[in-house]
Amino acid sequence: MASLFETPVTALRGVGEKRAALFRKIGAPTVGDLLRCYPRAYEDLSHPGPIRLAQPGQVCAVRAAVVKAATGTRVKGGMTIYRAAADDGETVFPVTFFNNPYAANALHEGETYVFYGRVQANFLKREMIAPECLPAGACPAIRPVYRQTQGLNSRAVESAVRQALLLLPEQIRDPIPAGIREARGLCPLGEALRHIHFPPDAAALARARERLIYEELLVLQTGLLRLKSRGRGGGAPAAPIDAVEEFWERLPFSPTGAQRRAVREAAADMARTTPMNRLVQGDVGSGKTAVAAALCWQAARNGLQAALMAPTELLARQHFATLSGFFAGSDVKTALLTGSTPKRERAAVLAALADGSVQVAVGTHALLSEGVSFRRLGLAVTDEQHRFGVGQRAALAAKGGQPHLLVMSATPIPRTLALMIYGDLDLSVLDELPPGRIPVKTYAIPSSKRGRAFGFVRRHAEAGRQTYIICPMIDEGDDDRASVTQYADRLRREWLPGLAVGELHGRMKPAEKEDVMARFAAGELSVLVSTTVVEVGVDVPNAAVMLIENAERYGLSQLHQLRGRVGRGRVQSYCILVTDAQNKEAQARMGVLCATTDGFRVADEDLRLRGPGDFFGRRQHGLPELRIADMAEDVAALRRAQEDARAILTADPALEQPEHRGLRGEVRLLFSHARGG
Ligand code: ADP
Ligand code: MG
């Protein structure tokens, strides 16, 4: 089947260059990809009923014979209504089309059809409006519904898929090794592909799904385990000298019990030559930066280097400032490397990392770029892990032989799932906030009360405290939404005249952003209007109010992250969610935030409200996008796949045996899509 991934969709009848562009849009540049574009839903035509039983307004299938061919009637406005009559054995009802003689005339008197469409009803009669009409003899029981795009509807995709299936070779190399397939009772790939698209019945569809889900999870787990199996036999530089207590003494505060525990666990890993693979999970504000800093110090004190990678430039700069502060007056030197580091400075940093005169590198993914090399990298840390792809994590690790690996995440997920998603990672949880924190009070208000909220902001400004205001992304290009600049202007002119208002958005240059952030951190600005760029990590303890416009547009976890920007000091902080959304789902989300500040509870509710598919969307964990499996729903299959992947890799670590070649190909495919994600 591999060759089909090199066959462009233009090889199919009726697909020219123009159509091919549309197929690319739905994720199917090649015939192979098309076969892997599984239907997103199915229409059940297997039990067409009488129209009497149809729910008015609902789409349904009705089997009936045409008893009178269509005739057209012109009505006002130049429209022509075509009506035929059909008899389902109980009721004779009209089948109606508007301005569509083609569909109407395709109905032949005396023939039986399955009509699929909406049933309209009043107390006198029922009729079907513009249904699809499938000759009863040729009507499938279940029909696929595909993702469509402007100019390419589900039916067009269907007919392309039909052709693509004909191109499947007789012998397909199955990614699931035969032994496992038999042991797990799974159907072969060819059958699965045919039935996922065109299932003869519900049982066949279920079998196809089961197999494809399993396959996807096996490929995923195999890929993850291979990433992690690096350096099994040891080879990481050990850091046996305990410098942790010495670091704690440098801090302006004393560490929480949870911070001590996490650092002790990681330092114990680092004392060995088996590379550490550890996840530190901690709610916003739990003090992950200090944990990372302690371990960087530990590495440096053992003659090793450390790299700390953050997902945004803003955050990288902040971490750089924090770590430099912690290490001040010692001989542990820190350098910053981001995409906007000037050329000459960059060259100096690279040289210092290469010769080891700088021990700790803080930066963005610029740390992964070519030319960055370390003399003796002992520890690689990624902050806000969910923002990075697995590929990037692996790339950082690859920068220096076999460093110890620490990933930090503020997305609390249940432990069992974390272990499966992150495979072999060990877990440390920061389940304690620094002392003296006062839980943030959260309120949801309609936009009509915005004026009062601004009064509240002003009073805080007068008391010397600061406010973030989040308004929707300028980059999304929808002009009807408040952009940062317009919003800030209005604040200055109309809403909060006299207050110092700053702006921060994605279109600004890094230096401009840094300047604004520095002024906000120094207290020169009372209000910072921003997009969600402040979402991750930003730490200004004097900020006490977070006002979020159009709060309904964000997911629960994201709102929780944003809220986490306040409540970091010792004063009561507030989060104000401005929303006019009336729908239940949005209101439920606001309700959760108003009710709790506990990140684990927010995550649970998020999972419940959004459904696992969304929650474990790619952004949350940086894993490749899955086509059919669902990591939360298919937990049992995930566990089996993990077992099998382990067994396969134990027997054949490089997947070189012939029966593993299909699997190797799919692993490569899945993780190449994921790259850069
Ligand atoms: P996280 O990254 O987990 O969201 P940060 O590392 O940004 O949290 O820390 C949040 C704030 O708490 C920072 O201002 C930091 O200086 C402070 N902090 C961290 N640990 C402690 C502690 N043990 N005691 C007091 N303040 C702390
Ligand atoms: Mg952080």
**Tens-place pLDDT, residues 492-523:** 999 999 999 999 887 788 788 888 988 999 99
Name the residue among 351, 218, 34 with its Cα closest to residue 655. Answer: 218
Query: How large a percentage of the chain has pLDDT more than 70?
Result: 89
Q: Which ligand sits nearest to residue 385's alpha carbon? A: 2
Identity of residue 140: P
DSSP-assigned states of every residue in 529-540: EE-GGGSSS---
Report which listed range, 169-183, 218-232, 398-412, is most confident. Answer: 169-183
- What CATH code is assigned to 441-596? 3.40.50.300
Q: By alpha-carbon position, which residue is closest to atom 24 of ligand 1?
A: 434
Q: Which ligand sits nearest to residue 536's alpha carbon? A: 2
80-87 mean pLDDT: 95
Grouping H, G, I as helix, E, B as strand and the rest as coil, residue 5 is helix
Structure tokens that stand for 116 in this block: 């699929």
Do residues 606 and 615 make contact, with C-beta atoms less than 8 angstroms apart? yes
Q: Tokens 């419940």 identify what position? A: 608
DSSP-assigned states of every residue in 98-136: ES-HHHHHT--TT-EEEEEEEEEE-SS-EEEEEEEEEEG
- Cite the DSSP H helix spans in 496-654: 510-521, 556-563, 584-595, 599-610, 612-615, 618-621, 635-651
For residue 564, report the distance from its CA to the centre of ligand 1, in Å. Answer: 11
Helix/strand/coil percent split, the chain, to 5: 45, 20, 35
Query: What is the per-residue pLDDT for 674?
Result: 43
Q: Which ligand sits nearest to residue 322's alpha carbon? A: 1
Q: Which ligand sits nearest to residue 542's alpha carbon? A: 1
84-98 mean pLDDT: 95
**Most ligand 1 atoms within 8 A of CB, residue of 539, 540, 560 to mutate:** 539
For residue 228, report the distance from its CA to the centre of ligand 1, in Å. Answer: 30
Q: CA distances (Å), 458 to each of 284, 444, 526, 571, 573, in order?
A: 26, 19, 9, 16, 14
For residue 291, give the ligand 1 atom closest to its CA. Answer: 6
Query: What is the per-residue pLDDT for 402?
Result: 83
Identity of residue 165: L
374-391 mean pLDDT: 80
**Residue 483 in this model has a pLDDT that exceeds 80:** no
- Residue 622: left if φ>0, alpha if ψ -120 to 50, beta else—which one? left
For residue 138, report the distance from its CA to the centre of ligand 1, in Å. Answer: 67
Confidence of residue 106 (pLDDT cuts 50, 70, 90): very high
| Lowest-confidence region among 133-142, 178-187, 259-268 | 133-142
**Residue 228 in this model has a pLDDT that exceeds 50:** yes
Q: Which residues contact 496 (CB under 8 A, 6 or more apart)?
A: 454, 457, 458, 461, 527
For residue 569, report the distance from its CA to the centre of ligand 1, in Å. Answer: 9
For residue 315, report the distance from its CA to the centre of ligand 2, in Å. Answer: 8
Please state whether beta strands 466-470 and 527-530 pair in parallel, antiparallel, or not at all (unpaired): parallel
For residue 357, report the distance from its CA to the centre of ligand 2, in Å. Answer: 27
For residue 286, give the ligand 1 atom closest to its CA. Answer: 3
**φ/ψ of residue 134, rounded to 5:** -110, 120
Q: By alpha-carbon position, which residue is closest to atom 2 of ligand 1?
A: 288
**Residue 634 in this model has a pLDDT that exceeds 90:** no
For residue 431, report the distance from its CA to the centre of ligand 1, in Å. Answer: 13
For residue 290, give the ligand 1 atom closest to its CA. Answer: 6
Name the residue among 30, 27, 93, 39 with its Cα closest to residue 64. Answer: 93
**Most ligand 1 atoms within 8 A of CB, residue of 320, 535, 568 to mutate:** 568
| Lowest-confidence region among 9-13, 29-33, 55-59 | 55-59
For residue 607, report the distance from its CA to the centre of ligand 1, in Å. Answer: 27
Q: Which ligand sits nearest to residue 521's alpha carbon? A: 1
Query: What is the per-residue pLDDT for 33?
Result: 92
For residue 255, give the ligand 1 atom closest to its CA. Answer: 23
For residue 564, give the ligand 1 atom closest to its CA. Answer: 4
**φ/ψ of residue 318, rounded to 5:** -65, -45
Confidence of residue 587 (pLDDT cuts 50, 70, 90): very high
Q: Which ligand sits nearest to residue 430's alpha carbon? A: 1
Name the residue among 11, 19, 5 with its Cα closest to residue 156. Answer: 19
For residue 95, report the distance from its CA to the centre of ligand 1, in Å. Answer: 68
- Cite the DSSP H helix spans in 36-185: 101-105, 154-166, 178-183
Distinct helix (H) and strand (E) counts, the chain: 24, 20
Residues flanking ligand 1, CB < 6 Å: 253, 255-256, 259, 282, 284-290, 410, 434, 537, 539, 541, 568
Please state whether beta strands 426-430 and 277-282 pair in parallel, antiparallel, or not at all (unpaired): parallel
> What torsion do the CA atoms of 250, 251, 253, 259 make, to the nearest 10 degrees?
-110
- pTM of this prediction? 0.67
Q: Tokens 């110092």 identify what position? A: 500
Q: By alpha-carbon position, which residue is closest to atom 26 of ligand 1?
A: 434
Do residues 291 and 251 make contact, with C-beta atoms less than 8 angstroms apart? no
For residue 309, report the distance from its CA to the centre of ligand 2, in Å. Answer: 11
Residue 159 is given by DSSP the state: H
**Residue 90 in this model has a pLDDT that exceeds 60:** yes
For residue 406, report the distance from its CA to the centre of ligand 2, in Å. Answer: 14
Among the four given CATH numbers 3.40.47.10, 3.40.50.300, 3.40.50.11540, 2.40.50.140, the one describing domain 46-139: 2.40.50.140
450-472 mean pLDDT: 94
Give me the residue spans of the domains in the chain.
46-139, 244-430, 441-596
Grouping H, G, I as helix, E, B as strand and the rest as coil, residue 96 is strand
Grouping H, G, I as helix, E, B as strand and the rest as coil, residue 459 is helix
Q: Which ligand sits nearest to residue 568's alpha carbon? A: 1
How many residues does the structure list for the chain?
A: 677
**Residue 615 in this model has a pLDDT that exceeds 90:** no
pLDDT in tens, 200-217: 999 999 999 999 999 999
Q: Which residues contact 608 (CB under 8 A, 6 or more apart)?
A: none
Do residues 399 and 377 make contact, with C-beta atoms less than 8 angstroms apart? yes
Residues 253 and 287: their CA atoms lie apart, in Å, by 11
| Lowest-confidence region among 227-236, 419-428, 622-631 | 227-236
164-186 mean pLDDT: 92
Q: CA distances (Å), 529 to each of 172, 302, 314, 400, 505, in order?
A: 56, 43, 15, 40, 8
Assign domain 244-430 to a CATH class.
Answer: alpha beta
Fold matches, 46-139 and 441-596: no
291-297 mean pLDDT: 98
**Most ligand 1 atoms within 8 A of CB, residue of 253, 322, 326, 557 to mutate:** 253
Do residues 413 and 605 make contact, with C-beta atoms less than 8 angstroms apart? no
Query: What is the per-residue pLDDT for 525?
Result: 96
Q: Interior CA angle at 17 toward 11 and 20, to 5°?
A: 70
Q: By alpha-carbon position, which residue is closest to atom 12 of ligand 1?
A: 287
Give 183: exposed, middle or buried? Use CB within 10 Å, 0-12, 13-18, 19+.
exposed
Confidence of residue 603 (pLDDT cuts 50, 70, 90): confident
Give the CA radius of gyration of the chain.
30
For residue 282, report the distance from its CA to the centre of ligand 2, in Å. Answer: 9
Half-sphere exposure (CA, 13 Å, Cβ side) for 595?
11
Roughly what angle, to the nearest 10 degrees, separates helices 202-228 and 390-397? 20
**Residue 481 in this model has a pLDDT that exceeds 60:** no
Between 422 and 324, where is the model more confident? 324
Residue 237 is given by DSSP the state: P
**Residue 22 in this model has a pLDDT that exceeds 80:** yes
Between 155 and 395, where is the model more confident? 155
* Sign of torsion over alpha carbons 490, 491, 493, 495: positive
Confidence of residue 413 (pLDDT cuts 50, 70, 90): low
Q: By alpha-carbon position, which residue is closest to atom 5 of ligand 1?
A: 287
For residue 288, give the ligand 1 atom closest to its CA. Answer: 3
